[in-house]
Structure 1
Amino acid sequence: MTIKVNSQLKPAAEMIHSLFLVNQSGDIFLEKHWKSVISRTVCDYFFEAKEKAVQPENVPPVLQTPHHYLITIYRDKLFFLSVVQTEISPLFVIEFLHRVADTFQDYFGECSESIIKDNVVTVYELLEEMLDNGFPLATESNVLKEMIRPPTILRSVVNTLTGSSNVGDTLPTGQLSNIPWRRAGVKYTNNEAYFDVIEEIDAIVDKSGTTVFAEIQGVIEASVKLTGMPDLTLSFMNPRLLDDMSFHPCVRFKRWEAERVLSFIPPDGNFTLMTYHVTSQNLVALPVYVKQNISFFETGSCGRLDITIGPKQTMGKTVEGLMVTVYMPKSVLSVNLTASQGNYTYDLTSKLLVWDIGKLNPQKLPNLRGGLTMQSGAPRPEENPALDINLKIQQLAISGVKVSRLDMYGEKYKPFKGVKYLTKAGKFQVRT
């Protein structure tokens, strides 16, 4: 018998060849190769793109080099840079890199350079299990925790004295069932299920205050600690607002299509239940307004800045963590400003002005005004700088998305349950 193989088909195992972790300073502090070792010089193409980007988030996620593709995400002030040798869906790789960052967050409490260095052995064990010969294998947190036990101080001491590792000796129970995201035999004294509805506003506002572009990126984060094998349903008051949804594999998609109800057997612990968009077609309401005037005089080496910010659509909730960031032109040498609330800093090297307001007081609107000193003889800037807004509002889902009820089936106990809402600014920019 002769078997013909299509030589044009490339094996899926060639997905990711290498992974580099890079800090904000551009230092590679960890690397992992699943096949042959690729030289660190391949990252030079990434460093060039990083130098051109105004902010780390603006580095292109996909870069093409003569022999490789570099696919990158930026999480928690770290770059996760993967090297791919063949053409593959970039979103597939990006999703895997986010899974790696989420796993580090779940295992170590945070995903930072110092924490990763302190747990480097566990990090390499996780990467070895998450990717097999360059292709994703075990990416669910519950499965990984049965294979590789999370580090503790006591376990670290025992491993040092005995020479053992955190790798388990038995196959995870989730791998043997049709519910691989949940381990068997889960027991809790206090049974609880909490959900956080977090929405980020991406918006561009022109100098007259008119919204040019606005949309909301939403995510529902879950923390479920329930005994046994609970079956949950989550209903919304207005599911028609949701668009472009992406669900955790536990969600029964056919029931969502038919009834617009989330029905699922949840993983144990923390996980992302779903993500969604709310576009400008649904009239996204911005929570704050900005009045600004940035001018550079035709003659002389000076300019003027005046910024006032106030609440707009906050539903009576308090705006917290309010911050305004301005990337000044290179010709601005110094600033002499007065802030009616909060404080400001100006970095001469990066030309970055940061006004940290804190909590917004509706009765006394914060204002920042004063003069700008320019380089002598420098030409007047052709474009005024844009303002980036950062904020958060507790207990507010600005899109109007609301959870109406949460029901549990399959178990007889009554769990504690709750839903919290949070609105944040994503890429919120005011063009001047």
Structure 2
Amino acid sequence: MSAIEALYIFDRFAPTPTIVLQHEWRSRSPTSPTSLLAHYNAHLAPRPALLYVPTTTPPTLLFSFEHNNLLLLSPATSEIEPLLVLEFLHRVVDVLEDYLGPPLIASKIEGSYDIVAQLLCEMADDGIPFTTEPNALRDLVLPPSLIGKLFGSVTGLPGNSLSSISGSTHTNAISTIPWRRANVKHTNNELYVDVIELITATIAPSGRPLSARANGTIAFTSKLSGVPDLLLTLQAPNSHKQKLGEKPNSILQYPVFHPCVRLSRWRDHPGELSFVPPDGKFVLASYEVNLLPSAKQQLQLPVTIDMKTAIGPDEDEFEVRVFVNTTSLTPAVGNGSSPAFGSRSGATRSPAFGGSSNVPVVEEVAITIPLPPAVKTLVATRCSRGEFHHEGREVLWKIPTTGSGAAPSSTATFRTGVQIRAMADDDDDDEEEDEVGEGEEKKDAGTRKASARKRRFKMAMPRCAIVNFSVKGWLASGVRVDSVKIVGGRGMGEGVKPYKGVKYITRAGGIEVRC
């Protein structure tokens, strides 16, 4: 069976290429880490996650993953499943952040190398991924905080006392559930659900959506003592058609579940997630939703724009008008039969965010306008609200929607003129004049120059705009959490009623509006 051979972590922002961590599971790689880094940098950005390097001996498959200022490289000289290695690199980053705290930077890894080495040995046995769940790893490797407390409370230990204490502490406390650590105890029992959707869409110049999808993530935070057994029920906008044979989760496409989810329960009872949760934060499930299941389907967005190009007396201006409207959105409201959910950090409550209004809240509205290479600069720029920045070949316009003077439904306008780069006389125009004939030579020279100028300005107009925003209290797909219940388990105590909260957030992951 193929296995992961090695892992190298580099500090990308160091003045010189610096290797932060070098770990081999089987044998030392025939190619040095610095040579692998040189092969990686030789490719032009954006670099793919898998590179084939035929010039090494033997030829090498180079897997990579960039995170913050770190670059993770894993070479493979034999055939191996690519997704296995890439997923393992992501798991390494998640585990190190869980142990060392976010953000994960080079100094944290260097300062806790003993912890990192233990984690890598437990995560892969002889290069084969073995234990990658943070909850299970905490039963095997002491977190840095616990080691510090141990050193602070115990003095005069022999050289190998720490390892012996670590082994004796965890030998009898290893959990039988791979994703949940043993002997979990909490003073306050709490359950939090975060449903986050990322919208990607393409809008035609006519305003008709060409494509629109939502990628959803159900993030779960469990702080329950013992080993609880939970049941989470989802509802979709078409769940009322259940009598017609349509399943309530029929709009969910490509669902991916945490290993704790019982798949048989999901198949037999669509929309129900039965699971024993890990302790702490984890991703319970992810999914995709086609927001345009039929050609007649209307796409409801809280932020829409209208672009006009080649306007003004000289046709050298363009205008972007942004409409922010939350009144047409359907809030993520429960049906009244689900148990009450509590507010979360003063930010959200189910059924409504803020606990006082059912109107979704639009924030972080930003419009990015890519500019053609012919544009030299912008002139006579004005916007009715917000601030804009022109750097390089794009304009970033940020529009405030909260605070004084901001309304839940409003309009903002951005208008500017373009100044094109200096160019030589248009050779195409000269060729046209030669081909026309003597009669056309008498055409007014000023008219010809004006026509050529308008054509050049038309080429300098933007072709699209990218819309970004976030909405609290609304999901584009209409999916919502109906209930979260404790249906069994052990070690919790009788009569435990945990504090529960749910939060809904929709973000635009790049909505392209063409003009």
* Length-normalised TM-score, structure 1: 0.82
Amino acid at match of 1:17: A
Corresponding residue SS for 2:479: coil
Deviation at 1:130, TM superposition (A): 2.2
Q: Which moved more, 1:257-266 or 1:359-368?
A: 359-368
Residue in 1 that maps onto 2:283 = 272
> Which of 102, 120, 131 lines up with 1:127 in the alignment?
120
> Which of 207, 215, 238 lines up with 1:217 in the alignment?
215
Give the Cα–Cα distance (whole angstroms) in 2 for the partners of residues 234 and 173 of structure 1: 33
Residue in 2 that maps onto 1:107 = 99
> Which of 306, 319, 325 lines up with 2:319 in the alignment?
306
Q: Which moved more, 1:208-217 or 1:353-362?
A: 353-362
Give the Cα–Cα distance (whole angstroms) in 2 for the partners of residues 40 and 156 of structure 1: 38
Give the Cα–Cα distance (whole angstroms) in 2 for the partners of residues 286 and 65 of structure 1: 45
Q: Deviations over 1:370-419 (max 9, x none)?
A: 12233211895588454332211112122111111111122431111121
Q: Which has the higher contact order (CA 8 A, sep 6+)?
A: 2
> Which of 403, 413, 416 lines up with 1:367 in the alignment?
413
Residue in 2 that maps onto 1:323 = 366
Residue in 1 that maps onto 2:384 = 340
Give the Cα–Cα distance (whole angstroms) in 2 for the partners of residues 46 and 128 of structure 1: 26
- Contact 1:143 / 1:174 at 8 angstroms: preserved in 2? no
Residue in 2 that maps onto 1:288 = 303
* Length-normalised TM-score, structure 2: 0.70
Corresponding residue SS for 1:344: strand
- Contact 1:73 / 1:81 at 8 angstroms: preserved in 2? yes
1:395–1:18 Cα change, 3 Å: same
* Structure number with bigger Rg: 2
Residue in 1 that maps onto 2:35 = 41
> Which of 70, 77, 82 lines up with 1:85 in the alignment?
77
1:333–1:24 Cα change, 3 Å: farther
1:286–1:155 Cα change, 3 Å: same
Residue in 1 that maps onto 2:514 = 431
Corresponding residue SS for 2:93: helix
Give the Cα–Cα distance (whole angstroms) in 1 for the partners of residues 36 and 277 of structure 2: 40
Q: Which moved more, 1:406-415 or 1:85-94?
A: 85-94
Deviation at 1:181, TM superposition (A): 0.9
Corresponding residue SS for 2:198: strand
Matches within 5 A, 1:4-43: 11-13=1-3, 15-21=4-10, 23=12, 30-34=20-24, 35-37=27-29, 38-43=32-37
> Which of 454, 459, 465 lines up with 1:387 in the alignment?
465
Corresponding residue SS for 1:241: coil
Give the Cα–Cα distance (whole angstroms) in 2 for the partners of residues 369 and 77 of structure 1: 38
Residue in 2 that maps onto 1:7 = none
Q: How many correspondences in the alignment?
A: 410
Corresponding residue SS for 1:366: strand
Deviation at 1:179, TM superposition (A): 1.0
Give the Cα–Cα distance (whole angstroms) in 2 for the partners of residues 347 and 174 of structure 1: 60
Q: Which moved more, 1:31-40 or 1:116-125?
A: 116-125
> Which of 249, 253, 256 lines up with 1:243 in the alignment?
253
> Which of 401, 413, 423 lines up with 2:479 in the alignment?
401
- Percent identity, aligned pairs only, is 31
Q: Deviations over 1:303-355 (max 9, x none)?
A: 5332222235543412101122233334433234223222122223xx34222
Give the Cα–Cα distance (whole angstroms) in 1 for the partners of residues 394 and 80 of structure 2: 38
Corresponding residue SS for 1:12: coil
- Contact 1:318 / 1:394 at 8 angstroms: preserved in 2? yes
Corresponding residue SS for 1:36: coil
**Residue ranges of structure 2 left out of the alignment (5+ in a row):** 237-248, 331-358, 427-455
Give the Cα–Cα distance (whole angstroms) in 2 for the partners of residues 169 and 319 of structure 1: 51
Amino acid at match of 1:289: T
Give the Cα–Cα distance (whole angstroms) in 2 for the partners of residues 293 and 115 of structure 1: 50
Amino acid at match of 1:92: L
Amino acid at match of 1:194: Y
